Amino acid sequence: MTSANGFSDSQESDLVNEEDMKVLEKSIGCIPSYWIQNIIDDKIEENYDLEQQYLEENKPIKDEDEEQYYREIDSTPLPSRIPVKEEFPGRHNFQVSLGNQDSSKHWIYSQILKKVFINMEETLPLRLKWDPPEGGLLLRTAMVFSLDQYAGDPVRRCHNHTAPNNSSNRDVNLRVIKHVVRCTDSTSMYEERNEHLSVVTPLHRPQPGSQYVPVCFKFLCKNSCPSGMNRRPTELIFTLENSEKTVLGRRRLSVRVCSCPKRDKKKEEAEVLKTQSNVKKIKLNVPVGKKMMPSCDTHVFSVQLNVVGKENYLSVLKYAYDIMAGQAARTGQFEFFKPYMDDILRKTP
């Protein structure tokens, strides 16, 4: 049953117990209905305050270090799951170049392939330039598959290298372990969008006297790992962004993470050179049409002769026919000579 104040009898008894009610009735005889309502309202407000206090005290505590290390991305799906790879410098003339290769034996660059070959867990130094060199910008680095048939697949580390007992995973956030690419800048943030992984690094102005900003990366899985990249060619996509994540420029760099950079570089270059050589041979073996000889005199002359004897007359016609037939064969101008040769045949008795 519901009372006039909107609460059931059981709800009112929970708010004002029977003993309190009896004490009140005994002391003042009867209790007006609006008093009861005020008592109930006070109890409701007291219970609400206690509940809010409980929620505040038991509110989950965020790990500030973890939040700085890994930033969550909203779950709103993007228009496409395939990363854009087309290069453009943008209005800042965004440029990415390699550091001094002579200072390291663990990576090598191929001018023929425009590709870097590097050992796993070794540092790849890069140099970034943009003009004007303003601060407050971001560098987003993502590893993607080069072939179009795999463009929508995310690049992740293999099962072996993501194992908790792997030495490269010590004291590393669990959600960062699956990233193949890691930046040595401690302020970098690791993001995931539509299952694709990227690392975002805050950029500062170049140091006085310098034209570029150095950024270094490491790779924590090999291209040959079966359960990871599985021998599929990969490349890095660098995008220059502002604080609102608007893309201001984009660059790309082919990368292969392997055990022997020099050997793999030599092997891939040999394959490319062999393919180019085969293409040249095919072009040389393509059948070429018959060469046209230099054109002869094409002026047409009309000759009227009186020839004595039928045999002499036929000999003259045959001689004229043979001369033009020979020239047509040598020059390839059959269509030009054909009407005149047919005219000789018509005059032959």
Cα torsion 214, 215, 221, 224: sign? negative
Neighbours of 271 (CB within 10 A): 11
Q: Where are the domains of the chain?
A: 95-265, 297-348
Query: CA-CA distance, 267 to 293, in Å (whole number)?
Result: 47
Per-residue model confidence (pLDDT) at position 251: 97
**Residue 216 annotated as part of some ligand binding site:** no
Look-up of token digits 């908790």: 164
Q: Which of 104, 170, 143 is nearest to 257 (CA)?
A: 143
Query: CA-CA distance, 68 to 62, in Å (whole number)?
Result: 11
Query: CA-CA distance, 50 to 244, in Å (whole number)?
Result: 41
pLDDT 10s digits, 147-164: 999 999 999 999 999 998
Q: Which of 237, 225, 70 is nearest to 157 (CA)?
A: 225
Beta bridge partners of 2: 8
HSE, CB side, 13 Å, CA atoms: give it for residue 223. 22
Per-residue model confidence (pLDDT) at position 250: 97
Topology given in CATH for the domain delimited by 95-265: Immunoglobulin-like (2.60.40)
On whether the CB atoms of residues 199 and 216 are closer than 8 A, the answer is: no
**Residue 258 annotated as part of some ligand binding site:** no
Query: CA-CA distance, 176 to 156, in Å (whole number)?
Result: 11
What are the φ and ψ backbone dihedral angles of 145, each rounded to 5 degrees? -80, 140
Query: CA-CA distance, 275 to 286, in Å (whole number)?
Result: 17
On whether the CB atoms of residues 96 and 126 are closer than 8 A, the answer is: yes
- Contacts for 295 with CB less than 8 Å, ≥ 6 apart: 331, 333
Per-residue model confidence (pLDDT) at position 41: 57
pLDDT 10s digits, 35-89: 555 555 555 555 555 556 655 655 555 444 444 444 444 444 444 568 899 999 9
On whether the CB atoms of residues 125 and 210 are closer than 8 A, the answer is: no
H or E stretch covering 193: strand 189-193
Beta bridge partners of 128: 96, 213
Per-residue model confidence (pLDDT) at position 60: 53
Per-residue model confidence (pLDDT) at position 37: 56
In the chain, alpha helices (H): 9-15, 18-28, 33-57, 64-69, 261-284, 310-331, 334-347
**115-119 and 247-258 as β-strands: parallel, antiparallel, unpaired?**
parallel
Rounded to a whole number, what is the distance in angstroms from the first to the last CA of the chain? Answer: 133
List of the chain residues with pLDDT < 50: 2, 4-14, 62-79, 290-293
Give whole-number Cα distances, 330 to 99, 170, 293, 295, in Å: 64, 83, 6, 9
